[in-house]
Structure formats: structure tokens, C-alpha cells
Structure 1
Amino acid sequence: MERSDSPLTLGYISYLNCVPFFGRLKEQGFNGNLVPGVPSALNRMLQQGEIDASPSSSFEYARNWRDYLLLPGHSISSVGSIASVLLFSPVSPDRLGGVEIALTGESATSINLLEILLRDYYGLNDVVTRVPSGSVEDLVSKGIPALLIGDRALKLSTVVPLGIGVYDLGKLWHQHTGLPFVFALWMIRKGVVQRHAEALGQLGEQLLKSREAVMQQPLVFAEAAALHLGFSPEQIISYWQTIDYRLDQQHLEGLNRFFDLCVDYGLLGEMPELRFL
């Protein structure tokens, strides 16, 4: 059900990787509402019309592309390592056939990327995953392979248990394809475009200016984030510099390659079209 009220309501992924998008957004003239959540929750809210637009999982776009338009020029991507989408495993990925891998369930994109990499890159036919009821971090400490994303992945990567290897999915994808990987896209519900035409027309420039302003003086935001997350400000700034926030032709090639592989392996029923605002 589409919301009939205003102003524009944006989903806000409550991970460090979104701070540059939102840190100076209000100062750029954005006067709407922000709703925080993990990627899987924002996917659901966007699909149900509880928010108007959001940086959401690229797989969510592929799954329901007829409901959305994409905001040009913006993404959460990597060209190589991403540092926050990590497979923790006591054995190398090529030995994970038939071995249960724990998931947090926070992101549809990363889960499907893991399956594509294990099947297409490593040739595994029996990829087994499960979202456990308990702590995934505790399972890693017991030698159970697990996929973590976002701030939880960053935290665990600083205190990796003895005997556990860390595999960066962005790096593996780039090694395999030579292309960027697009983890999240800025998606807009088609039903709100006419009602919020002016605000959406300004949003792309506002996001760009916010990113630029944050990265010109990143220490202010990094120090604030460091108080809550246990990282040093320098670690946080380095992480932001790792992320690629663009969406250019190479990114679109990487996105289409991922979607094509998802179709090949039965993770998507059809190839989505990329449609922009």
C-alpha cells in the first residue's frame, strides 16, 4: 500500500557504509524522513510501500524490478575488497561443498553472491546455508563457516579466531570477473515518483554533495562512529575509502553479470531490466 502523506521517506541502512550518504544530507536541503534498518528489513519496507526510496540490496531490485526505478549514479559497490562482506571459514572455500554455512539473514545480495561464487568460481554443486537461532559470531569461534556483513563483519575481522580464514566476497568477485560488484542500489518505488517528483529530482545531487562533504572532513563522523563501534577513527575512514559509491558503465556490467549468473543458477526466474528515474 502506497503512503499518501509527505514528505519523502528514505530508508537508511544502519551500517557504517551509509554514513557518507546521510551524514550531511540535511545540510544539502533534504527535508524528508529517515528510517533506519538492516538491508533485509529495508527491502521488505520498500516492497510494502512503508518507505519511498532506499539504498537496498541489488538482489531485491532484481527480484521485484517492475516495482522500482533506480536513482542514477549512486550505489554501494566495490572494485576488489569491500572489507564488510566476509566469509569466515576454517577451510578454504573450495572445500565447503556440502558443509553448512551460517548466515545472519541480513542481506539477500550477499547470500546469493556467496552461492554464485561457490558454485561458479569453485565448482561446488552442493552449497548448504542456514540462518541459526543463536550468534553467528559464536559459531565462527567454534569453527563453523559463516557469512557476515556490515559492521558485524568489520568487528569480527579485527578479532578473527585462531585457525579461521577470512575471504572477502568483493575481492573474490573481482578476481573472478574483473568487474565491480554492486551490493546496493538506490531504489525508488514507482508509485511515489509523481507525488515526490521535485524531491526525487534533487535527491541525487544532495546525496553526492553529502558524500563529498563527509569525505572532505571525515574525522568528525569517524570519531562519532568510533565511540559506539570499537574501531579507531582511522580504521573507519580507511573503510569508507574502500567503498565505491559510484554507478557507472562498468558497475552496470558487473550488475548484469551477477543477475545473469543468478538466472543461470535458478536464483532468479528472469533477467531484470535496469530502469532509471
Structure 2
Amino acid sequence: MSLSVGQISYLNCAPFFHHLARTGFQGELIKGVPSALNRMLHEGRIDVCPSSSFEYACHWQDYFLLPHFSISSFGPVQSVLLFSPCAPDKLAGRDIALTGESATSVNLLRVLLWEYFGVKGAHLAVPAQSSVEELIAQGRPALLIGDRALRGARRFQNQCLIYDLGELWQQFTGLPFVFALWILRRDAALRKGEEIAALNRLLEQSLSLAFASLEEMALTVPENAWLEPENICAYWRCMSYRLEQPHIQGLELFFQLCHKHGLIETLPAMEFFTAQPKPAVQGTVFA
């Protein structure tokens, strides 16, 4: 059975996917922004995806996690940015424009505003007409993620204040922030266990190939020609693609705060896929 894998169309995912075909992957790749792929994963239209950590928190009973992998940052992430005419603690009652592409980044902003800046009453919404970039140019606060954030940082660097949400999280918590996890559906784990175990191995190989030749890989990303190869490599190096104990601690705190502020109903368990006849569960509920 062919494995259907969601592929986020952002520069930060390139190390997972650039060499994947070279490693022998023969499944189907389905590209999209995080919010669209979250929906497809939840609806069962794809089997596995590097998907929003908030998506896992909302529907963890339907999922397993691939061990070892994430899209995280220990400090600045460079591509999840709040553009604002004022400091975050002055945003009470303001409208903050969103792109609607990532549930994790939006809820991270909510947690930061509510828990650490003491800001209540800010209204976060996708604008009905103007683009987010147009609103930033008009002096309105807004959140950009992914490649649009990288472009926005260059375009608006002298026009407003820019806050990196990964950096803010680390400043307040001392922990990394996990933006995405490799999430697979439980029914896919039961039906396609061998294919998923193979994907886990191929992702490891693909990452190793990528970080052995980042400069070469950066030259092959034409849609990001606006960003110099050395800056692309620096961006990849600022990311963490692993899922280790500090990442788990950061996830635990984020999920606890989401639960505290009513963003999720229950605290999720971390349940990992293992390559056995039936997927084994290694879970502890966050307390």
C-alpha cells in the first residue's frame, strides 16, 4: 500500500524532503500549508505529515508520533514573527492580523500575550479583504509565518518592531519551542506499519544528506532566490529537527498553558509509533 505523506511548502521543511526520493521513498507527497495539511490529516486524506503540534494536542487520540523528529527552535526561529507598531504588552484591545496558515503559531502568540505579557482583549483574525502585508505597511500589528515571515522581515525591518515568537518563548521559559511534529494517523499505523517504519529510516537518511551539503541544497531552491544561499543555510541551522527531552519539556509546558487558557480541552499523552507488528504505545499524560 502506498503511503501518502503531507509536505509543508515552506523552506524550513526542505531538509526533510529534498533528498527523500534519493533515499528510496516511493510514496505519494501532497503539498500544502500547515492548516490545510492539518485538516487533511484529521480527515484521513493523508497518512502522515510534519504537522502542527497544536493539531496533535487537539486530536491526539487519533494519532501516533514518529519518534526523534520535529520542527523546533532553541530561540529565534526567524519565520514566526509578530510585526507591531508597539511593544507586545501594549496590544490590549488591538486587532492583530493573521494569515490563517498555522494553528500552532497563532496559539503560541495567544499564550505569550495572555500568560507572559498580561494582554487581554487583543483580537486575532484573518483579514477579510486586505493582505496581512498590506496591513503591516499601514502600521497594523500582524503575525506572519513561514517564507512570508522571512520576506516580511526584510521588507518591514525599518518600518515597525519585529518580535520572533521562538525567541520570546525561550526568553520566558528557557525551553525550545516545537512548532511541528511528525504525526501519523493510528489507522494508517495499523494498515501501513512497514511503510511507516521505512519512512522513519528514510527521513533520518534525508536529514543526514541535507546537513552534509546545505550549501549545495540552498542553490537548488529557486523559489527562494530572493534569499541568499548563505542566509538560507543559516536559517536551516537555526532550526532543530530533533525531538529530545528538552523539546518534550517545551511541548509539555505549551500544552499545559493551552489547557490553562481554554485552548484545548484535555492534556495530551505523547504516544509514539514503534516498528513492531502492532504499534506500541509509550505514553505519559502531561500533568
Fold in common (TM above 0.5) = yes
* Corresponding position of 2:211: 215
Please tell me whether residue 52 in structure 1 is matched to residue 57 in structure 2.
no
CA distance in 2, matches of 1:229, 1:34: 23
RMSD: 1.1
Contact preservation (8 Å) 1:88, 1:165 = yes
Which stretches in structure 1 are left out of the alignment for 5+ residues? 1-5
* Corresponding position of 2:272: 276
Say which is worse superposed, 167-176 or 201-210, in terms of deviation.
Answer: 201-210
Give the match's secondary structure for 2:67.
strand
Contact preservation (8 Å) 1:226, 1:236 = no
Which stretches in structure 2 are left out of the alignment for 5+ residues? 274-287
* Corresponding position of 2:86: 91
In structure 2, what residue type is equivalent to 1:102?
A
Aligned match of 1:100 in 77, 95, 102?
A: 95
Question: If the length of structure 2 is used for normalisation, what is the TM-score?
Answer: 0.92
Contact preservation (8 Å) 1:226, 1:233 = no
In structure 2, what residue type is equivalent to 1:96?
L
Aligned match of 2:171 in 166, 172, 175?
A: 175
Once the two structures are aligned, what percentage of the paired residues are identical?
A: 50
Give the match's secondary structure for 1:24.
coil
Query: How does 1:58-137 map onto structure 2 within 5 Å?
Result: 58-133=53-128, 134-137=130-133
Paired residues in the alignment total 272
**Shift, 1:130, TM fit:** 1.1
In structure 2, what residue type is equivalent to 1:72?
P
Say which is worse superposed, 185-194 or 156-165, in terms of deviation.
Answer: 156-165
* Corresponding position of 2:139: 143
Contact preservation (8 Å) 1:68, 1:189 = yes
* Corresponding position of 2:4: 9
CA distance in 1, matches of 2:192, 2:96: 42
- Deviation above 3 Å: which 4+ runs of structure 1? 226-229
The Cα offsets for residues 71-128 of structure 1, whole Å up to 9 and x where unpaired, read as 0000000000000000000101010011110000000000000000011110112221
CA distance in 2, matches of 1:141, 1:95: 19
CA distance in 1, matches of 2:158, 2:92: 22
Contact preservation (8 Å) 1:56, 1:187 = yes
**Shift, 1:31, TM fit:** 1.0
Say which is worse superposed, 157-166 or 176-185, in terms of deviation.
Answer: 157-166
**Shift, 1:161, TM fit:** 5.5
Aligned match of 2:148 in 146, 152, 159?
A: 152
Question: If the length of structure 1 is used for normalisation, what is the TM-score?
Answer: 0.96
Contact preservation (8 Å) 1:140, 1:161 = no
**Shift, 1:229, TM fit:** 4.4
The Cα offsets for residues 111-154 of structure 1, whole Å up to 9 and x where unpaired, read as 00000001111011222111013210111000000000000000
The Cα offsets for residues 25-58 of structure 1, whole Å up to 9 and x where unpaired, read as 1122211110000000000000011100000000
**Shift, 1:206, TM fit:** 1.1
